[in-house]
């Protein structure tokens, strides 16, 4: 208990904000990309089984591609968490900036998946045998909402940094 009583919140410190602003941003962004890749892969590829990451070949290739996506998502997530741990150790965590960039990362992943993977490359669609328009609109809208919410939070931290 005594150790918890001595904890200080240093993200209000202007020096820490200036020094660790970029690390907060990249840690949150990587965490957001990784967790959203994992969440969408788990829900749509494994639980609902609507598609695989790569649907242009055999079932075996599709399952293999899902494994590669999971590997990517965990490497990116863990990298973000290592940076977060380092920020906490150095008392440089800026929660609002980190959460904002994590939301941005989540939104960027959804937009990349929806626009590049689904539409431009055609590696898979959200769902087969149904009208894709409502799914596509919902997917892209979700990505925009995550990205813009995160962007607003990150921009607010820039203003907060100069205000103090």
Give the residue among 43, 75, 105 at the shortest CA–CA distance from 53: 43
Give the residue-averaged pLDDT of 96-100.
97
> DSSP assignment, residue 114?
I
Q: What is the pLDDT of residue 82?
A: 98
Q: What is the pLDDT of residue 128?
A: 87
Q: What's the Cα-to-Cα distance from 38 to each of 46, 99, 115, rounded to whole Å?
A: 11, 18, 18
Assign 1 a pLDDT band (cuts: 50, 70, 90).
very low
Q: What is the pLDDT of residue 16?
A: 77
Lowest mean pLDDT among 21-35, 50-64, 94-108, 141-155: 50-64
Q: What is the pLDDT of residue 113?
A: 95
Q: What's the Cα-to-Cα distance from 82 to each of 24, 27, 30, 156, rounded to whole Å?
A: 11, 8, 10, 25
């Amino acid at each position: 208990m005594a150790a918890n009583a001595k904890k200080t919140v240093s993200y209000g410190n202007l020096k820490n904000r200036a020094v660790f602003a970029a690390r907060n941003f990249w840690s949150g962004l990587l965490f957001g990309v990784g967790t959203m890749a994992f969440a969408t892969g788990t829900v749509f590829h494994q639980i609902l089984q609507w598609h695989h990451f790569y649907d242009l070949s055999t079932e075996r290739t599709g399952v293999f591609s899902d494994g590669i996506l999971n590997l990517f998502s965990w490497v990116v997530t863990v990298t973000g968490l290592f940076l977060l741990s380092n920020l906490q150790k150095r008392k440089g965590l800026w929660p609002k900036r980190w959460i904002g960039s994590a939301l941005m990362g989540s939104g960027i992943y959804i937009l990349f998946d929806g626009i590049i993977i689904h539409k431009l490359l055609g590696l898979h669609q959200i769902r087969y045998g149904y009208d894709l328009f409502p799914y596509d609109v919902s997917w892209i809208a979700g990505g925009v909402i995550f990205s813009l919410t995160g962007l607003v939070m990150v921009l607010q931290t820039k203003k907060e940094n100069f205000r103090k």
